[in-house]
Amino acid sequence: MRTSHVLPILLLAGALSPAAKLCAQTVGIAKAGVRTSPVGKLIVIGFMGGNVSADNLLHREALVAQELQQRYPAGVEATVFANHDGQSALRTVLHLLDANGDGRLTAGEKSAARIVIYGHSWGASETVTLARRLNELGVPVLLTIQVDSVEKSREDDRNIPPNVREAVNFYQTRGLWHGRSLIAAMDPSQTTILGNYESSYRQNSISCAGFPWLARTFMRTHIEIENDPSVWTRIEALIRAEVH
């Protein structure tokens, strides 16, 4: 069965892929009037680190989504999720891709997808997981961005799936919690790794004002990169470059 077939057929057929099943389950919600994204609009999905809620604007992950949405209301659909809400993020992407809201995800709607996914810590691991789920559905991703990526249980934050056009990794190596230093393309002919960029805070401390004492004491470098303006300036530039 071709992946461009209508979603109700996927559900009735009992598709083997969990992601495909989830895709099929979105049909009823889409028909209920969930907002969809016009063709060409950039879908930006962010994932928070740790146990941080999606609405916590102390964290740069949430601020980036807010700023992008405010700056490009007609060109961007930006949403941030807690890293344990990967299924909700997938449902959101599938709703947005259903441009005409008919409950079908056609080959054309998939090929028109323009998606950027980013995250910090466990959220960076979830970034790759979401990209992998979209790969199972034949949905392309323009860019994945990992910031001090910490692999979650039963996930793989190193190997970038072939539906991703470009991927980049920012990391630091000190402290109890530190990020993966190397990501790699599963298919280098399909995915370009823009770089694995190390940051060091030995001589350049970053303010972590407002963060809990435990985080500032035991995870300082891990949250310094999360607050590092030089890292996030580069990240925002990469995302803005995809806005039409």
pLDDT digits (tens, 9 = 90+) for 53-80: 899 888 999 999 999 999 999 999 999 9
Assigned domain for 167 exists: yes
Assess contact for 194 and 116: CB atoms under 8 A: no
Look at 213 and 42; give whichever has higher pLDDT: 42
Residue 38: the pLDDT is 56
- How far is Cα 119 from Cα 41, in angstroms, rounded to an integer? 20
Q: What is the mean pLDDT of residues 196-214?
A: 84
Angle at 43 between CA 104 and CA 143, to 5 degrees: 115
Residue 43: the pLDDT is 97
The predicted model scores a pTM of: 0.82
Q: Name the residue type at position 77.
A: E
- How far is Cα 76 from Cα 41, in angstroms, rounded to an integer? 6
Q: What is the mean pLDDT of residues 121-150?
A: 97
Assigned domain for 43 exists: yes
Question: Where in the sequence is the domain holding 73, given as residue range(s)?
Answer: 7-240
Assigned domain for 56 exists: yes
Of the pLDDT bands very low, low, confident and very high (cuts 50, 70, 90), residue 18 is very low
Assigned domain for 1 exists: no
Collect all residues with Cβ–Cβ distance below 8 Å to 29 and sequence separation of at least 6.
91, 95
Of the pLDDT bands very low, low, confident and very high (cuts 50, 70, 90), residue 160 is very high
* CATH number assigned to the domain comprising residue 153: 3.40.50
Residue 211: the pLDDT is 80
Assigned domain for 2 exists: no
Count of the separate structural domains present in the chain: 1
